[in-house]
Each structure stands twice: as C-alpha cells, then as structure tokens.
Structure 1
Amino acid sequence: MLSRTAITFASAALPLVFGSPVANIAPGVSPRDGVSGTSTFYGGNLNGGACSFTTMSSLPSGIYGTAFSGSSWDNAANCGACLEVTGPSGNSITVMVVDKCPECDAGHLDLFQDAFAVLGATSAGELATSYTPVACPITSPLVLHNKSGTSAYWFSMQVVNHGSPVASLEVSTDGGATWQATTRSDYNFFENQSGFGKDTVDVRVTSTGGKSVVVNGVSVTSDSSVTAAGNF
C-alpha cells in the first residue's frame, strides 16, 4: 500500500544523449537541434514491444508510438522517452519509445503507421525526419509494476507512465537511511537477482533530468502495481 510520495530535485542534471547532431532535412525546413535521419513505419507493438509495456492498454492522449534505434538502445535506457519528430514538410508530432528496431541506426525511427501518416504519405515508405528529446505531455502519476515472479528473494520492477526517461531505480529497506541500486535489464525492468529480503520496500526513481520520486511501503508481490502520488 502506498503511504507517501516525495518529489525532490537533484543538484545536477544527467545528460540525455540520443545520437548525432541534426542537419536540415529538406530545403526551407529548419528543425530544432536534435538527430537527423529517416523514418519508416510498421504495424506498431505496444504491449509486445521490447520495452515490455504490457500493462499499458494504449498510449497517452496526443502521443504516438515508435521503435527506437538498436544502435542507441543502451540497455532499454530510452524506453518511455518522448521525442518530437519533425517531418519533411516541417510538421511535428510527439512519439514515445515503446519498442526496439534492431537494424535501425541512430537517426532512424520505425514509427507506428498512424504516426508516419501524420508526417507524410505511407506510400512513400520512408521519410526524411529529425527528432529531439522532449518531456512527455503526461500529467498523471507514474506507476511501479512488479514483474511476474517478483518476491522478497527476486526483485524486478518497471516504471510506467513517467514524464521523463528513467535513469535509476533504488530500493531502501531501512526507511530511506540507505539506498541500494538495481540493474536495468534489456527488457526494461530494474532488477536485483537476490531480492531485498523484505515484503515491502521504499523505492526511489530518478529521471535523467535529476528529479526523483520516492514511494514508500511498496509491496514486492508478483505482478502487482502501485500508483505514485506524482511524476517527474
């Protein structure tokens, strides 16, 4: 059961790096600084994507989906991140990284088909695009979700619905006096193979921007979820 959520700011922001500097993608179009390249599209895979967002029935309003570059996957570090993608005509959309494109280079996004269709004709198959990281337009609280099999002796937790990319998830078993690190898996869960020996723990999630959300009294019951009182 959730007892309290605290939101704090770290003293320094952590860098968020997605790829190489942007160049103009078409005559007369000057996108924001970011990463230039191309975008293709596919049918889209939210629940079965590499970010393992199985508890999300749909994307937040106003956000489209994309698979992200395999060459920049960085052990799922960009899962849940939002990007502003600019098309060849200068129009832009916001997308969330929910899947992995193993063959895509740093400038290549594989968009959900509905996202691609906003930027250009699907008959083109590929578009010149650029993208830049932005905060997700999410106002509801973030959610902590335990993987099936989680217990006091094997810890695996995911952060869902976060407004900024997650840099770390730490656990305290002594009321916040000390914090223990977890290791992010390639399928976007933060894990400790030995667990923490407790049925409930305190959890501190920190964004790449250095902002932290602390949730106290989180159960480690298998496949359970708890909603925090805030977001990044």
Structure 2
Amino acid sequence: MLVLRSGAAPACAAPVRPVAAPPAAGVTKQGKATFYDSAGAGGNCSNPAAPADRLYVALGPQEYADGAACGGYLDVTGPKGKVRVMVMDQCPECGPGHLDLSREAFARIADPVRGIVEVSYRLVVDPPLVGPLTFRIKEGASQWWFAVLVAGHGNPLRSVEVRQGGSGGWRAAVRESYNYWLIDSGAGPGPYQIRVTDSRGHRVTATGIRIAPGQVQRSAVRMYGAASGGSATSSAAPSPAAPRSPSARPKPATGPTLSPSNSVPEPTEVAALAAEDGAASASAAPVAAPPSCG
C-alpha cells in the first residue's frame, strides 16, 4: 500500500568538510612521505631560516591549519627508522597524512631514490631541548600596528597576549596563516609583556620586548621544564635567504611599511608557569559525510 506523507521531501545534507587542526597529541597516524628542499628559507611559518639540523616538514592545509601547527614537532617512522622534524612549512598540494619532509629528514627514514614511502607519525608532547622563547617583531611594526613571531616553544601555540609595560589589560593577538601574531590597532610604543600559552596548557610571560623590527629578541623563558634566568639579547636581522628552489613554498605578504625602530631589548623575566587543562589538540581526522540520498 502506498503511504503519502505531507511536507517537503528531505534535502540531501551537504558533505561536512574535515576539521583543520594540527596532528592530535597521543595519536599515531598512517600516511606517506615525500621530500623537498626549502633552499635554506624558513617556510610558510616565517622562520628566519630553516633549522640548523635541516630536519623539518611541510604539512598539507588540513594539518597545517592556518599556521596552528607551526613550531610543533613530529616523530616520523619509515622503512629505515625514525626521525624528529619541526613543522616549518605548508604543502598546498598535500592531502591529509601526506608529509613533505626535508631531503635530509627523508634520508633518515628511507632511501631518497624511492621518492615516496609509507610512514607513521605522531605529534611530540613537550619535546626536550627546545627553547628558550624568541620574539621577532615584524618589519613595518609600530605602536599602531603590532606583529610578532614567537619561536622556541616546542608544542604548538594556543594563544599570544600582549600588554604595554607592566600594567593595563591583556590584548589578544590573532594568528595569521604565516604564523605572525597580529594586533591590527597596535599595542602601544612598548616595551611589552607577552604572555604565551601552548596547546598543552603551559603558560609563561616574557617582559621587556621592544619594537625592534627584523631583530630576534632572545629570552631566558622556556614554556615548560626548568626556566633559566638571564637577560634578553638581540641579534641583527638575518641576511636575505638564498633563492628558493621551484619546489619551495610561497612567501606570505608583509604588513604595512612603516619606519622601523632601533630599540634594544631589555632583560626578560619569567612569570609563574601556570598549567591549565593540558587538553590535546583537536583531531584532524575527516568527519564522515552523511549517506547519499540517491
């Protein structure tokens, strides 16, 4: 018997896009690896240069997650063994689970002549021997437009907050896809306190960070473990990177062009390390789409 029901026919649900997020802590994933050469450049994460050991990786857009994975570390296991690499770059053409390793990292886990191999990989939690934190104010920054690159944190970062001097409220910076943290309306003339929280809930505060565009201000602050005392120092702006090879990643756009300051950083202090919830990053696994209405 035919049964008629009133009302409109149900519409097919649109497919749900996978959630963009860095690899989740505590989860071993399966994938594949290829390799490329950044030609010494620091990749889409805007590092001044590639790591000295040249062990780095570029992730596809889903796991790069608009820069949220930058500065984290993966343990990658292949046919020949395991290598630890820093997330430094985005591989626009790579799908979920596709790691584009540096040539040196690939050679640790497989014969480069193979070109592509199956691997497993896992996010490293609280990687040792990382830090202290460094801060690089972007070229063009001023009291009216603030942008800072934070490095040496080990775990991916959750938030960066800034306040002028030692008083007033904290202002949240917004992470751009090229890994600088921006406050479009500026944060004042400085010096600043900068409070950094990572994906594991570790939180520290560095003080005395000045507007010194293009200079790396090195602190004595570590995100976790014993934090050593000492003073901040400043290094000169790095020399231009070597020309990128055809496989290198595109460079992000710069901010507004303003007159840089020649300020010298003041000593950096450690604030109390306050652990929060320690929650792991959200999983990057694709969300299953609803069944077809056909």
TM range (shorter): 0.7 to 0.9
Separation in 1, partners of 2:127, 2:140:
30
Aligned pairs (5 A) from 1:180-219: 180-219=171-210
Identity within the alignment, %? 34
- Structure 1 residue 18 and structure 2 residue 33: aligned? no
**8 Å Cα contact 1:18/1:35 also seen in 2:** no
Separation in 1, partners of 2:129, 2:153:
7
Deviations 1:30-83 (A, max 9, x none): xx84111100011235524111101x4x5255x711111122221101111100
Matching residue's letter, 1:18: P
TM-score (normalizing by structure 2): 0.64
Q: 1:174 to 1:145 in 2, by over 3 A?
A: closer
User: For residue 5 of structure 1, what is the aligned residue in structure 2?
Assistant: none
Separation in 2, partners of 1:176, 1:69:
41
* SS at 2:166 equivalent: coil
- Structure 1 residue 34 and structure 2 residue 28: aligned? yes
Q: 1:143 to 1:49 in 2, by over 3 A?
A: same
Matching residue's letter, 1:113: R
Unmatched tracts of structure 2, length 5 or more: 1-20, 224-294
* SS at 1:144 equivalent: strand
Unmatched tracts of structure 1, length 5 or more: 1-16, 22-31
User: For residue 140 of structure 2, what is the aligned residue in structure 1?
Assistant: 149
Matching residue's letter, 2:144: Y
Q: What is the root-mean-square deviation of aligned Cα atoms in Å?
A: 2.3
- Structure 1 residue 136 and structure 2 residue 130: aligned? no
Separation in 2, partners of 1:139, 1:77:
18
Matching residue's letter, 1:59: P
Separation in 1, partners of 2:42, 2:79:
30
Separation in 1, partners of 2:167, 2:99:
40
- Structure 1 residue 94 and structure 2 residue 88: aligned? no
User: For residue 157 of structure 2, what is the aligned residue in structure 1?
Assistant: 166
Q: Deviation of residue 221 (structure 1)?
A: 2.8
Matching residue's letter, 1:199: G
Separation in 2, partners of 1:168, 1:191:
11
Structure 1 counterpart of 2:51, from 59, 62, 67: 59
Structure 2 counterpart of 1:227, from 206, 218, 227: 218
Matching residue's letter, 1:126: I
User: For residue 93 of structure 2, what is the aligned residue in structure 1?
Assistant: 103
Bigger relative contact order (CA 8 A; separation at least 6)? 1
Moved segments of 4+, more than 6 Å: none
**8 Å Cα contact 2:24/2:123 also seen in 1:** no
Matching residue's letter, 1:171: V
Q: 1:20 to 1:82 in 2, by over 3 A?
A: closer
Q: Deviation of residue 176 (structure 1)?
A: 5.2
Matching residue's letter, 2:108: V
**8 Å Cα contact 2:165/2:190 also seen in 1:** no
- Structure 1 residue 73 and structure 2 residue 67: aligned? no
Separation in 2, partners of 1:150, 1:222:
7
* SS at 1:118 equivalent: helix
- Structure 1 residue 119 and structure 2 residue 113: aligned? no
Matching residue's letter, 1:35: K
Q: Normalized per residue, which structure has more strand?
A: 1
**8 Å Cα contact 1:168/1:182 also seen in 2:** yes
* SS at 2:136 equivalent: strand
